[in-house]
Amino acid sequence: MKFLVSFVTLLLSQQKAIEAFTAPVSLISKPTTTCIFAEGGDQQTRINFKHDLDSPKVATQDKLSRGDKKVYCRCWQSGTFPLCDGQHMKHNEATGDNVGPLIVSIPKAKPEEVVEESKVSAEDDKKIEGRKKRLVMGYKATTFAYFLSIIQVASKTGLTKFAAYFLSSRLLTAGVAYIMSSAAENDRLSSDTYKRLNLAMIGFGVIGLIVQALLPNTRTAMACIAAFLTMVNAVKGYGYGVLGWDKKKEDASIVKDLANYPVSVLKGVFSIPKNMKSFGYLGLTGMVGTMKVIKLVELVQVLKDGTDKVMIATRLSRFASLSFLAMVAYTLKDAADRDRLEGSTFIELNFLAALSLATMSAYVGFNSRLGGFAAFFSGFSAFNGLASIQKKQSKA
């Protein structure tokens, strides 16, 4: 009898051993938060069955201030994920695991540290305020320098049609520089509109200095100063627009922004106009852009044919003027697409473009095809500027 009892007991113990051996196999087929590795440890089951399952990667970014303390979940079971709610304790009891939370704390600042941080903050604010003030003054000085250069040239040559057409680009740059001073005062330099205008000013200033270097007999100090101020302040303005006044904007890169610039402009130019005004500005951009390309071809031909500095300087000057006007036209097209023509910047740009186009039409002749188009777009820009003023006042 004792032998039978021992035999039955042995069979039962063997059955339990078999069940214990096969139990993990059945667990693998069910969702579990336990990491189960095959022999060699190169395969792993999924551990997250609750949070952001549609995302390819669950990444959490958090910020802590002095004196803060946070407890983060590491078991993926928390109902307040990424913060811990104690679910790891139930997980540990059920699985025999020993996971726990990540506890992060930042000590409170000592009184002397608070004072030091306040000093650093005050110094940074003072530095930023100084940069802004100097840039605003620089833009305004650029405007003033161009006005003086216009007066200087006009007093020598008289205000002929050619002189008016030649000086209209300086007037356009003076007006844009004044617009940029307002943008700097109101912290709007990071907008794509003002970054584009700054880049256009950089190009105009650089070419202006080259032109003055090529024409020593007609070079004027005021024209050199104006071109130099244009280049320097536009470079600073563009840099602050990309990097911020403190030059510490996260994920900001001038190289990356410059690389994206032509792509964004081309996309904007070839995008379908969203209204009739945008269609008109697209036509203006196309006309001036075509003239710009023609002038570039002429410049290349002059460079190939010889070293006539006067011809090179003339072509360079017109190329710079047309490039600037083309960017203004594109900026207005972009504003029309966004229904933003009532903004002060775009009202002023409309009137500046109208004036430049009017001098172009007067110089080439109203009866010519180019003169007729220039006159039409001059009226188009002036009308939109006046309509925007009226619309803006009606909303006030």
Q: Which residue has the higher pLDDT, 96 or 29?
A: 96
Within this chain, do residues 91 and 168 fall inside the same structural domain, yes or no? no
Judged by DSSP in three states, 164 sits in helix
CA distance 206 to 213: 11
For residue 179, count other CB atoms closer than 10 A to its CB: 21
Within this chain, do residues 164 and 283 fall inside the same structural domain, yes or no? yes
Q: Indicate if the pLDDT at residue 119 is higher than 80.
A: no
Mean pLDDT confidence for 205-227: 89
Residue 351 · residue 200 · CB < 8 Å: no
Measured over the CA atoms of residue 309, residue 314, residue 319 and residue 324, the dihedral's sign is positive
Within this chain, do residues 217 and 85 fall inside the same structural domain, yes or no? no
Q: Indicate if the pLDDT at residue 118 is higher than 80.
A: no
Q: Which residue has the higher pLDDT, 287 or 365?
A: 287
Q: Which residue has the higher pLDDT, 95 or 320?
A: 320
For residue 192, count other CB atoms closer than 10 A to its CB: 16
Q: Indicate if the pLDDT at residue 207 is higher than 50.
A: yes
Q: pLDDT value at position 27? A: 33
Give me the number of domains the chain comprises: 2
Q: Which 3-state string (H, E, C) describes 301-333? A: HHHHHCCCHHHHHHHHHHHHHHHHHHHHHHHHH
Q: pLDDT value at position 4? A: 41
Q: Which residue has the higher pLDDT, 206 or 31?
A: 206
CA distance 353 to 329: 7
Mean pLDDT confidence for 9-37: 39
Within this chain, do residues 86 and 186 fall inside the same structural domain, yes or no? no
Q: Left, alpha or beta for 41 (phi > 0: left; psi -120 to 50: alpha)? A: left
- pLDDT tens for 339-348 read 999 999 999 9
Within this chain, do residues 339 and 196 fall inside the same structural domain, yes or no? yes
Partners of 71 in the β-ladder:
103
Q: pLDDT value at position 327? A: 96
Residue 290 · residue 356 · CB < 8 Å: no
Q: pLDDT value at position 304? A: 84
DSSP 245-292: TTT--TT--HHHHHHHHHHHHHHHHHSPPSSHHHHHHHHHHHHHHHHH
Q: pLDDT value at position 14? A: 46
Within this chain, do residues 98 and 176 fall inside the same structural domain, yes or no? no
Average pLDDT taken over every residue of the chain: 82
Within this chain, do residues 255 and 347 fall inside the same structural domain, yes or no? yes
Residue 97 · residue 87 · CB < 8 Å: no
Q: pLDDT value at position 174? A: 95
What's the domain range around 160? 129-394
Within this chain, do residues 92 and 161 fall inside the same structural domain, yes or no? no
In this structure, what is the dihedral angle of CA atoms 127, 128, 134, 137, given to the nearest 10 degrees?
Answer: -150
Residue 201 · residue 193 · CB < 8 Å: no
Task: Tell the residue number behind the tokens 């000086």, with chain if given.
Answer: 167
Q: Indicate if the pLDDT at residue 382 is higher than 80.
A: yes
Q: Indicate if the pLDDT at residue 224 is higher than 60.
A: yes
Q: Indicate if the pLDDT at residue 42 is higher than 70.
A: no
Q: Which residues are catalytic?
A: 57
Q: pLDDT value at position 344? A: 92
Q: Indicate if the pLDDT at residue 252 is higher than 50.
A: yes
* Residue 73, domain CATH: 3.40.5.90
- pLDDT tens for 151-195 read 988 888 777 777 788 888 999 999 999 999 999 999 999 999 999
Q: pLDDT value at position 112? A: 55
User: Distances from the Cα of 103 to the Cαs of 50, 68, 86, in angstroms?
Assistant: 22, 11, 13
Within this chain, do residues 272 and 146 fall inside the same structural domain, yes or no? yes
Within this chain, do residues 217 and 313 fall inside the same structural domain, yes or no? yes
Q: Indicate if the pLDDT at residue 12 is higher than 60.
A: no
Q: pLDDT value at position 39? A: 40
Q: pLDDT value at position 29? A: 33
- pLDDT tens for 125-151 read 888 899 999 999 999 999 999 999 989
Q: pLDDT value at position 30? A: 36
Within this chain, do residues 89 and 227 fall inside the same structural domain, yes or no? no
Determine which of 231-235, 282-286, 360-364 has the lowest per-residue pLDDT on average. 360-364
